[in-house]
Amino acid sequence: MEVVQQTLIESSWHSQLEKLTMEPSIILLFISPLFPDKEEVLTYLTKKFPKASITGCSTAGEISNVSVTDRTISFTAIKFNKITHKKVAVPLNKIENSFKSGVNLGNKLLHKDLKHILLFSDGLNVNGADLISGLKSVINSTSVTGGLAADGPDFKKTFVVNNNKLQEKTIVGIGLYGDSLKVGFGSKGGWDSFGIERLVTKSEKNILFELDHTPALDVYKSYLGDKAKDLPSSGLLFPLSMRTTINKEPIVRTILSVDEKNKSLTFAGNIPKGAYVRLMKANVDRLINGAETSAEIANKSNNYTPALAILISCVGRRLVLKQLVEEEIESVRDVLGSETKITGFYSYGEIAPFGEFSACELHNQTMTITTLTEEV
C-alpha cells in the first residue's frame, strides 16, 4: 500500500499534482468550501488518473499531517496492491429517505469479501442515524467509518466528491475488499456533562420538541444564557449526551438548526422519545485526551504501523480548541508514530463503531480515527 498525502493550496495545486507519478486506486479530497478552484482540480485529476476512484467532501477545516488549515484541499492518493474496491454514490432526495438510502448503498456494496466501508455524506440533508441504521440492516458485520460533510460554521451548503462532480444530497461509499486489508478505528469525545438529566417527552426522529414536557428550545436557551442569541452555531459548544437505556454507552448529539415558531431543535441524529439527555460543555484538556484515546483504541490491536490514518473530528471541537486545535492532531501523531500518513477534516458528524466489537453509530463532537494498511 502506497500513500501520498499533501496540502493543496490555491497558488500551486497544479504544479503539486503534476509531480505525482503513482497510479492511485483511490484519491481522497477533503475540500474547503472556500477553495476557489474546486472544479478545476477535479477535472484535472479525472483526466490524469481516469482509473482512480475520487471521493471526499466539504469541510470545516482540513487536516494534513499535523496541520489544520482553511481554504485548502487535503489530498491523499492511495495505491493498493491486493485490495480491491468499489465506489458507489446514491442520491438523498429527502431527509426522510435517509434509511432507504442506507439500504440502497449497502445492497450495492455487499459482497462476501467486503472488509470495510468508507462513507461520506451530505452534512445537512441527511438523518445520519437513519442512514447508518439502513446500512446496518444490510451489512451488519462489516465495519463502517466516515463522516458528514461540513460548511465551516455556516450550516448552509455541503457537498460530497463523486469523481469529477461536487454533489449535494448525495452519499458516497467506498467498499474495500480482501483479507489483506487491516483496519483499526476509535471514536472518543472528552466533553463534560452538566445540569440535570432530562426526559425526552416529545420528539420526531431527529427533531426534539419537549424535555420534561417543556419546549426544548426554552430549556436549551435557559442553559446557554447570552450565547442563545447565536444559535444554532453556539449549539456546537453545548451538545447533548443521550442514553436510550441504562446500560448503553451515551451518544453525543449536536444541533443543526432551531425552529423558533415550534420551539424545537433539529439534531444531526435521532433523539427518541423516552431517552434521557444532559447538556455537555467543553474541557480543553479532556478534548485533547479524547483524541489521544481514540488513536490508542484504533491502534491497540495492531502489530504493524498503519500506512494511513483518516481523522474526522467535529466542527464543535475546533470552535472550542481554537488556536490549540492542532494539539489534538499532534496527540494522535504521538500515538501512531511518524511513519503513518495523516489526513482528515472537521465535520458535522462522525461515523464509527464505539470499539472493536460494537456496532457502527453516528457520533457528534468526537475525534474518530480510521487506520488502514495492506498486509504484505
pLDDT tens profile 280-300 = 887 899 899 999 999 999 988
pLDDT at 357: 55
Same domain, 139 and 215: no
Same domain, 22 and 36: yes
Same domain, 250 and 341: no
pLDDT in tens, the chain (376 residues): 999 999 999 999 999 999 999 999 999 999 999 999 999 999 999 999 999 999 999 999 999 999 999 999 999 999 999 999 999 999 998 889 999 999 999 999 999 999 999 999 999 999 888 999 999 999 988 999 999 999 998 888 999 999 999 999 999 999 999 999 999 998 888 888 888 999 999 999 999 999 999 999 999 999 888 888 888 888 888 889 999 877 777 888 888 889 999 999 998 788 999 999 999 887 899 899 999 999 999 988 667 889 999 999 999 899 889 999 999 999 999 999 999 999 999 999 999 886 565 567 888 888 999 999 998 7
Last residue within a domain, chosen from 232, 264, 280: 280
Same domain, 155 and 231: no
By CB atoms closer than 10 A (0-12, 13-18, 19+), residue 36 is exposed
How many domains would you assign to the chain? 2
Same domain, 219 and 349: no
Backbone angles phi, psi at 146, to 5 degrees: 160, -155
pLDDT at 244: 86
End-to-end CA distance of the chain: 9
Residues 6+ apart with CB under 8 A from 42: 29, 54, 161, 163, 164, 165, 166
pLDDT at 301: 64
Q: What is the pTM of this model?
A: 0.90
Q: 161 lies in which domain range?
A: 2-188+285-374
Angle at CA of residue 281, ends 352 and 62, nearest 5°: 50
Same domain, 180 and 215: no
Local structure of 234: helix, strand or coil: helix
C-alpha cell at 219: 430549556
By CB atoms closer than 10 A (0-12, 13-18, 19+), residue 50 is exposed
Same domain, 317 and 263: no
Same domain, 205 and 248: yes
pLDDT at 335: 95
Q: Which helix (H) or strand (E) holds 119?
A: strand 114-121
Last residue within a domain, chosen from 256, 280, 304: 280
Same domain, 94 and 112: yes
Same domain, 183 and 225: no
Same domain, 132 and 162: yes
Same domain, 351 and 231: no
Last residue within a domain, chosen from 280, 301, 318: 280
